[in-house]
Amino acid sequence: MSLVIGNLKLRNNKKYMKASFRYKGIHSCEAVVLSCIDFRFWKETVEFVEKELGIKTFDFPSLPGSAKAINESDDETFVFGCISVPVELHHAQKIVIINHEDCGAYGGSKKFGEDKEAERKFHEGELQKAKEKVLVKYPDKEIVSVYAKLDENKENVEFIRIN
Ligand SMILES: [Zn+2]
């Protein structure tokens, strides 16, 4: 299958690229991983999910603030679609929700006066709220809540399971 990208010129003057498709005939995945859109965290998040949680197949929706989108949503059809499509169409059994430190959707670390402990506690509360809201709709699913924090020098991301 070719991925056709309009009139965009790709490298070497090509107009398309071809990539191998690894899931022929497969329509189920293990989990849905909801994370923030933040470019600083998502690649490491994928690595964490694959290597540490051991989940190989997952849908990966991103919304600003992750748990925030669930907690503050009035329109459940859109936000919950990010979870309900993986669960109902792709039979995902696990729902992983990942919030992160210095999340712009929440006002960043500066909103907490750089008090990392207060920030972590706040995100734990947000993740708990989101978990409860999702469990109302999917009581038989396993919810995994994770907080991605930065180390002291802001050179590493540490993923902490909070339940
Ligand atoms: Zn964020």
The pLDDT of residue 6 is 62
What pTM value is reported for the model?
0.91
- What is the CA(48)–ligand 1 centre distance, in A? 17
Per-residue pLDDT of the chain (163 residues; tens, 9 = 90+): 455 566 666 777 778 888 999 999 999 999 999 999 999 999 999 999 999 999 999 999 999 999 999 999 877 788 999 999 999 999 999 999 999 999 999 999 999 998 999 999 999 999 999 999 999 999 999 999 999 999 999 999 999 999 7
- What is the CA(102)–ligand 1 centre distance, in A? 7
The pLDDT of residue 111 is 97
- What is the CA(138)–ligand 1 centre distance, in A? 25
- What is the CA(98)–ligand 1 centre distance, in A? 10
The pLDDT of residue 1 is 47
- What is the CA(154)–ligand 1 centre distance, in A? 16
Domain boundaries, the chain: 26-161
The pLDDT of residue 4 is 57
The pLDDT of residue 3 is 58
The pLDDT of residue 7 is 64
The pLDDT of residue 11 is 78
- What is the CA(42)–ligand 1 centre distance, in A? 10
3-class secondary structure per residue, the chain: CEEECCCCCCHHHCCEEECCCCCCCCCCCCEEEEECCCCCCHHHHHHHHHHCCCCCCEECCECCCCHHHHHCCCCHHHHHHHHHHHHHHCCCCEEEEEEECCCHHHCCHHHHCCCHHHHHHHHHHHHHHHHHHHHHHCCCCEEEEEEEEECCCCCCEEEEECC
Q: CATH code for 26-161? A: 3.40.1050.10
- What is the CA(92)–ligand 1 centre distance, in A? 24
